[in-house]
Amino acid sequence: MGLGLLPSRFSRIPANRLFLRSIVSNSHRQSPEAAAAAVPPPEPTPDLPPRTPVAGARVHFPNPDDAIEVFVDGYPVKIPKGFTVFQACEVAGVDIPRFCYHSRLSIAGNCRMCLVEVEKSPKPVASCAMPALPGMKIKTDTPLAKKAREGVMEFLLMNHPLDCPICDQGGECDLQDQSMAFGSDRGRFTEVKRSVVDKNLGPLVKTVMTRCIQCTRCVRFATEIAGVQDLGMLGRGSGEEIGTYVEKLMTSELSGNVIDICPVGALTSKPFAFKARNWELKGTESIDVTDAVGSNIRIDSRGPEVMRIIPRLNEDINEEWISDKTRFCYDGLKRQRLNDPMIRGSDGRFKAVSWHDALTVVAEIVHEVKPEEIVGIAGRLSDAESMIALKDFLNRMGSNNVWCEGNGPNPNADLRSGYIMNTGISSLEKADVFLLVGTQPRVEAAMVNARIRKTVRASNAKVGYVGPPADFNYDYEHLGTGPQTLLEIVEGRHPFFSTISNAKNPVIIVGAGLFEREDKDAVFSVVEAIAKKGNVVRPDWNGFNVLLHNAAQAAALDLGLVPESNQSIVTAKFVYLMGADDADLDKIPKDAFVVYQGHHGDRGVYRANVILPASAFSEKEGTYENTEGCTQQTLPAVPTVGDARDDWKIIRALSEVAGVRLPYDNFGAIRSRIRTVAPNLSSLDEREPATFGFSVKPESNQKMSSTPFKAAVENFYMTDSITRASKIMAQCSAQLLKK
């Protein structure tokens, strides 16, 4: 962030100016007043090399006529009207120091770190709050600007404790970096520093409020992005503090992001407190799997241990935020892990055995049962590679009863548009009406919810919701609780229908919780009828979306993991649970032989006869498709635990022991197998929209029941085996869930 970019900025200085930057003490330095007064002679012709905008930022001109030209350090840049001086400097490739400015938050202009000199202005101006005017001559490198920064730093450090050695922000602290780069080399402060009482913001965010520099980024984040009015500024002057007004925890599913945006160590991660220094950590760019959004994350690890998870920028998916579940579930990766293959003995206890013995036992049993009695269930965290391996293995054994949990008894895998978000997460911003059917995006996909909230805030989009009473952090209209309301809408009896049909870009989002309903086809055809009548799907706009819950779901449907008969689990004699803990385990007959392959000793293990330990998402390379159809990849950050193996390797090995050897021996080979089944899964980091709409779908003649929709996610913090094993998530659900 901010000052992370500084080194690159310095490296851009041409060699001939380097000499002038060498550390010397001259009269300017010894008397800053003289430096400020000495106006450098104006450069006659700027022979500066063309600059690249900070962080590769691109400028979008909504209206080419509105472009204005300003000069930054003598270098002319074209910017659209309405840009601030700060943004103009960024376009010109000059990184202005800042504390309070954040590109995704409103402008506060209260830290004054971004002061620059503007020709003909009597005082330095706070560039983040000053609109750029045509022909403005901005100077960012003059003695006046430098002196202003130095002064601001001095004031900020006046009340900032000298905590760096015991501060968790140390090493990635904007204040530390900027005081090194722009601060004075001595202080004049001799008084007593003020101190502020720490606030309790809950189990996730640790506060050391004395370190706060009152930039109000956290307050703006909470009110603008997270949509909770929990944080605020109290008092004035030196009595100013950040707090929660009353003794209250911060209850937002995005609260962890204030840790990232706080430029100092006032808000840090509680679980990470005093665990590691950031320069000891190895970062691995990976993907989150705790929901279907596929937020981009960086897994920071030290040795074999995941120390923390932080977001990675991806404008199309999670911008630069992640949900608390994503950020703090990592301690679940260290608990309840399965590390040895195990077989349940006759006394009901598990005994650790070698891989050789475990696979031999499984292979023997799988040959003893009839092919129709073999069932395979992929778990919600499975990657595409292991799912295709499981499907191929079961197919070779003669069974076609393989599915992914969460997709319901008879999923529609034929029409891709029927199970992905056709609009795409980032295009939700163009919508002006939302109809949420049986989905509570706040708990099902917090990042999608943040996008909807952003849209509602920016364009006053209307939100209609059909489903059980739920928590929203934006204005919405509760239309009803069950399918009845949908019928009213489709028949035009409901006023919301005219809202949809009058909208420019209406969006319908159907929750994947509906997949479990008996009358799923009927409900979907009603929703599709609404979409048709309301003109939701047009050649230039596809507003029909399904919001999935699990990381594995979309890829499973793409790969065709569809059970042959939806009653197969009741008659199964051999059940292969590949990380499946939320399937109907009690429906499995008593005499069935259950193999559990997975990384956590979760629900599936209680019923298992054989355990095959597998690696978690932080330990393997795996392909995941998110709910909008974007294929992404996890990368191994830490080694596997104990004797665990990657999922697809286990199935490949088992297939050989069982005598039906699968033809892929390495990752590349299994990838090309996936390419033949679902080509879209091989184009990484690309969103593949569905080709056909539902207009080609045959009519369903199912009867719709009037049972109201159910909430799909009971506990936001605990949805899968990793989060259920996490202590932090347990604390969150105990303290933060509204009971």
Partner 1 sequence: MAFRLTGLKVSPNSATLEEARARVFDFFKAACRSIPSIMEIYNLHDVVTESQLRSSVASEIRKHAQVSNPKVIDLLLFKGMEELGNITEHAKQRHHIIGQYVVGGQGLVQDLSAKDQGNSDFLKKFYNSNYF
- Taking residue 724's Cβ as centre, other Cβ atoms within 10 Å add up to 21
**Residues with Cβ within 8 Å of residue 658, at least 6 apart in sequence:** 362, 363, 366, 367, 393, 397
The Cα–Cα gap between 629 and 407 comes to 16
Query: Using the rule CB under 8 A, is 646 a contact of partner 1?
Result: yes
Query: Using the rule CB under 8 A, is 649 a contact of partner 1?
Result: yes
323 touches, from partner 1, ligand SF4, ligand FES, none (C-beta below 5 to 8 Å by class) = none
Count of residues touching partner 1 (by CB under 8 A): 16
Question: Least Å distance between CB 218 and ligand SF4?
Answer: 3
x/- map, 99-128, ligand FES, by CB under 6 A: xxx-------xxxxxx-----------x-x
Query: Using the rule CB under 8 A, is 665 a contact of partner 1?
Result: yes
CB 379 within 8 A of CB 612: no
Query: Using the rule CB under 8 A, is 615 a contact of partner 1?
Result: yes
Query: Using the rule CB under 6 A, is 219 a contact of ligand FES?
Result: no
Q: Output the six-digit token pair for 491.
A: 């028949």
685 touches, from ligand FES, partner 1, ligand SF4, none (C-beta below 5 to 8 Å by class) = none
* Closer CB to ligand FES, 114 or 297, in the complex: 114
Query: Using the rule CB under 6 A, is 220 a contact of ligand FES?
Result: no
Query: Using the rule CB under 6 A, is 262 a contact of ligand FES?
Result: no
* Closer CB to ligand SF4, 217 or 620, in the complex: 217
Helix, strand, or coil (residue 452) = helix
Q: List the one residue from 80, 87, 98, 614 that touches ligand FES (CB under 6 A).
A: 98
DSSP 8-state secondary structure symbol assigned to residue 615:
-
* Closer CB to partner 1, 163 or 357, in the complex: 357
262 touches, from ligand FES, ligand SF4, partner 1, none (C-beta below 5 to 8 Å by class) = ligand SF4
List the end-to-end C-alpha distance of the chain, in Å, as a whole number. Answer: 38
128 touches, from ligand FES, partner 1, ligand SF4, none (C-beta below 5 to 8 Å by class) = ligand FES
* Closer CB to ligand SF4, 250 or 375, in the complex: 250
Q: List the one residue from 139, 652, 687, 724 that touches partner 1 (CB under 8 A).
A: 652
Q: List the one residue from 431, 657, 660, 670 that touches partner 1 (CB under 8 A).
A: 657
The Cα–Cα gap between 630 and 299 comes to 20
CB 508 within 8 A of CB 486: no
**How many CA atoms within 13 Å lie on the side-chain side of 428?**
32
Q: List the one residue from 397, 610, 653, 718 that touches partner 1 (CB under 8 A).
A: 653
CB 619 within 8 A of CB 386: no
Stretch in the footprint of ligand FES (CB under 6 A) among 97-105, 340-348, 382-390, 470-478: 97-105
The rounded radius of gyration (Å) of the Cα atoms in the chain is 29
Strand order in the sheet with 630-634: 622-625, 630-634, 686-687
* Closer CB to partner 1, 280 or 665, in the complex: 665
**Residues with Cβ within 8 Å of residue 471, at least 6 apart in sequence:** 440, 442, 443, 738
Q: Output the six-digit token pair for 410.
A: 């008879």
Question: Least Å distance between CB 319 and ligand FES?
Answer: 20
**How many CA atoms within 13 Å lie on the side-chain side of 159?**
18
DSSP 8-state secondary structure symbol assigned to residue 127:
G
The Cα–Cα gap between 399 and 16 comes to 73
From residue 335, alpha-carbon distances to 363, 414, 716 in Å are 29, 39, 19
Question: Least Å distance between CB 114 and ligand FES?
Answer: 3
Query: Using the rule CB under 8 A, is 661 a contact of partner 1?
Result: yes
Residue ranges in contact with partner 1 by CB under 8 A: 354-356, 615, 639-640, 644-646, 649, 652-653, 656-657, 661, 665
Residue ranges in contact with ligand FES by CB under 6 A: 98-101, 109-114, 126, 128
